[in-house]
Amino acid sequence: MINEIEKYTYRVMWSEEDEEFIGLCAEFPSLSWLASTSAKALKGIQTVVKECATDMSKNKEELPTAISARNFSGKFMVRVPPEVHRHLAVEAAESGVSLNRIASVKLAH
């Protein structure tokens, strides 16, 4: 069985500022781990998350739900400046599609 900690969303990227790889976890945005290789950064952030989750459990704190386990409706509201709204409405009309379709395509890229 997969450990709940393994279901979290991890990312490793290069940090120009630190000149090392940085491991991140979306469900624990305040945690990170720097390392000389991407593999070490991933292992490091997973270890830090495991330690944090263990402490949270001991303190009877609720652990965040993994993003992969959450249900999404597909709907959310976005506020944009009126000129952006107008531009998108014109683009949608000229393309013969809904404003919703134009926004969805742009967000997907």
**Ranges of each domain in the chain:** 4-68, 72-108
Answer yes or no: CATH 3.30.160 is held by domain 4-68.
Answer: yes
Tell me the pLDDT tens digit for each residue of 56-84: 999 999 999 999 999 999 998 999 999 99
Q: Tell me how far apart the alpha carbons of residues 104 and 109 are, in angstroms, rounded to a whole number.
A: 9
Tell me the pLDDT tens digit for each residue of 16-39: 999 999 999 999 999 999 999 999
Q: pLDDT at position 3, please?
A: 82
CA distances from 72 to 14, 75, 76, 106 (A): 30, 8, 10, 19
Q: pLDDT at position 4, please?
A: 81
Model pTM greater than 0.95?
Answer: no
Residue 100 has pLDDT above 70, yes or no: yes
The tokens of 92 are what?
């949608």
